[in-house]
Amino acid sequence: YINSQKHQCSELKDNFHQIMLGKHLSDQRISSLDGENIHHQKVLFSFFKEQMQAIFKINEEKTISTKSNLNYDTLSLILLQLGLEDENFETKKVFIDEKLLDGRNSIAHGNKQGKTTPKDLYTEIKTELLDMIENFHHLIKESISDQTYLKTTRE
């Protein structure tokens, strides 16, 4: 959505600058940043000098990744990239890491998990996951309608 709005980078909140900086460093083939290396300093300086006036454009498929299996740490990174609060999901950490990820693996590999039957596990995952998806969808819609991805005059 933000790609389609054609905002200058300087209009967006810092999390979007960080996304672009990561791509910029990758494009420059800098995998490990060294603050004392003049070449790295030059790359960073040019990014902040030149890129802030550029139109924000990223490859969504390469930017957001679940790394094959979604766990809480990965979800937290995705929320951070999008500039969304993770407080609503923080209470779901145990569910995500233990029930969702381990449950998915148990169901996929046909392993029985403790006293929970696969059907009960599936029902619990379905209920919790739908709630989380709706919550995530609400956060995205709210960010778009309130334009919270844009910098305010105080930032």
Q: Domain boundary at 31, 63, 95, which?
A: 63
Residues 125 and 141 in one domain: yes
Over pLDDT 90: what percentage of the chain?
40
**Residue 22, pLDDT above cutoff 90:** no
Residues 81 and 39 in one domain: no
pLDDT digits (tens, 9 = 90+) for 68-104: 777 899 999 999 999 999 888 999 998 888 887 776 6
Reported confidence tier of residue 115, pLDDT bands at 50, 70, 90:
low
Q: 124-144 b/e with 16+ CB inside 10 Å = b?
A: ebeeebeebeeebeebeeebe
pLDDT digits (tens, 9 = 90+) for 128-138: 999 999 999 99
Instruction: Give kind and range of the element (H or E) at residue 119.
Output: helix 118-146
Please count the structural domains in the chain.
2
Residues 15 and 81 in one domain: no
How far apart (Å, rounded) are the C-alpha atoms in residues 136 and 134? 5
Q: Domain boundary at 20, 35, 63, which?
A: 63
Residues 70 and 55 in one domain: no
Mean pLDDT calculated for residue range 31-59:
88
CA angle centred on 11, ends 25 and 52, rounded to 5°:
35
CB 55 within 8 A of CB 8: yes
Residues 37 and 77 in one domain: no
Reported confidence tier of residue 113, pLDDT bands at 50, 70, 90:
low
Give the bridge partners for 55, in sequence order.
Answer: 8
What 8-state DSSP symbol labels residue 32?
Answer: S
Write down the pLDDT at residue 112. Answer: 59
Q: Mean pLDDT of all residues in the chain? A: 86
Q: Domain boundary at 20, 37, 63, which?
A: 63
Write down the pLDDT at residue 155. Answer: 72
In which domain, by residue range, is 76 found? 66-155
Reported confidence tier of residue 28, pLDDT bands at 50, 70, 90:
confident
**Residue 108, pLDDT above cutoff 70:** no
Residues 132 and 109 in one domain: yes
Residues 4 and 73 in one domain: no
